[in-house]
Amino acid sequence: DNQYMRIVIALIMGYSTVRLAEVHSPIVKDLNDDSWQINTSMIKVHETQVETVFRPVQNLNVCPTEWIRGWYERRTKKDKDKPFLWLIEKKRIATYEEASKAVHQIMAEAGIPDNPAVTSIRKSSMTKSIDQGAIKTQINRSTRHKKGNDTVAHHYDKNLKDYLRQILSEFE
């Protein structure tokens, strides 16, 4: 349960650059085309609704749609409608502290030095996107670092997000 949750949270944070608080209580929908939609509120700088659609990437080991689907397949029928971070064995939603601890554990397992901030996942995602050829404007628009980017990101950047997620899934 916990290991799977760790991976799912880390992948969502890495591919969407949302913060842990935003992953803690999203609404998740299966779009029935191998895609998953996550709706949450971005609350750090300005409150706004964030809709992120995850589509499959070639590397299934780090494919967020595979892991999200697997997270839901582990549930019983009566637990299918429970909150996203529902803990099957404990029969309750994971606390923010449990989610934070889970992310720290997956970072430690990945060999990341002790006690980095969970936000380093966002930073790493942005850095890798730049290393793979994304430009600053693309990064700002996909991560919503500026309020004006929200409208553009929500309505026009569907392909940009897919492009960035694809390059993030590639390893040398």
Domain, as residue range, for 103: 2-168
Query: Which tokens go with 76?
Result: 């019983």
Q: pLDDT 10s per residue in the chain (172 long)? A: 678 888 888 888 877 777 788 888 888 999 989 999 988 887 666 677 778 888 998 888 888 899 999 998 988 888 888 888 888 888 899 998 998 888 888 778 877 776 666 666 666 666 766 677 777 676 666 665 555 445 444 544 455 566 666 666 666 5
Residue 79 in tokens: 């637990």
Give the count of domains, the chain.
1
- Euclidean distance between CA atoms 22 and 25, whole angstroms: 6
pLDDT of amino acid 30: 92
Residue with tokens 């971005």: 42
What pLDDT score was predicted for residue 114? 67
DSSP labels, 76-126: -GGGTTS-TTEETTTTEEPPHHHHHHHHHHHHHHTTPPSS--TTHHHHHHH
Residue 29 phi, psi (nearest 5): -125, 135
Which pair of structure tokens corresponds to residue 27? 């609404």
Task: Kindly report the CATH number assigned to the domain that includes residue 96.
Answer: 1.10.443.10
